[in-house]
Amino acid sequence: MPRDWQREIDDWTERFRSTARPPEPFATALADGGWTEGAREALAQDAEQYASATAALLAEIAGSGIDLVRFDCKQGSCDVCEKYCGKAYSLRGETPELPSPPPLPICPACRHTLNLLTPFYLQSLGLDIEDLAAEAQPFVD
């Protein structure tokens, strides 16, 4: 089921109205008192493109048997998405200690990624599943 970006943009515009740092292009739309048709359409298209690209990538990662992923915020983050940055998720539901990943993108503005967490990488950080579970941040819409 494709996401209804027009509705999401409306909802998130209201949500960002009360946040300290609304992300672009929401900040501009809020400052200007509304969306231009062009800005709104560009955001909806970009969000849909990102959603389908990441869905394909995640299907590939899950298909290769990888379960542990980390939610990474490479391009900054809005106040709403920020709490998920750096948290671990179970892509295939094979790690019951960890929640399912948030949808990508969470909000139409942010472009976060889910990257694999290999056992080797965890070991190099001195971390195990229990450490990740203790910091887990289940997605709440």
Which lies closer to Zn ion via its Cβ, residue 10 or residue 60?
Answer: 10
CB of 97 to Zn ion, least distance (A): 26
Name the amino acid, one letter, at 114.
L
Laid out side by side, the sheet with 88-90 consists of 88-90, 68-72, 113-116
Residues of the shown chain interacting with Zn ion in the complex, contacts defined by CB under 5 A:
78, 81, 107, 110
CB of 76 to Zn ion, least distance (A): 9
Please name the residues in contact with 110: beta carbons below 8 A apart, sequence gap of 6 or more. 23, 73, 75, 77, 78, 81
Main-chain dihedrals φ then ψ at residue 115, nearest 5 degrees: -120, 150
Which lies closer to Zn ion via its Cβ, residue 47 or residue 78?
Answer: 78
Q: Nearest to residue 10, comparing CAs of 111, 140, 108? A: 108
User: How many Cβ atoms from other residues are within 10 Å of residue 57's Cβ?
Assistant: 13
Residues 38, 88: contact at Cβ < 8 Å?
no
CB of 27 to Zn ion, least distance (A): 12
Which lies closer to Zn ion via its Cβ, residue 110 or residue 117?
Answer: 110
Which lies closer to Zn ion via its Cβ, residue 99 or residue 102?
Answer: 102
CB of 41 to Zn ion, least distance (A): 19
CB of 3 to Zn ion, least distance (A): 14
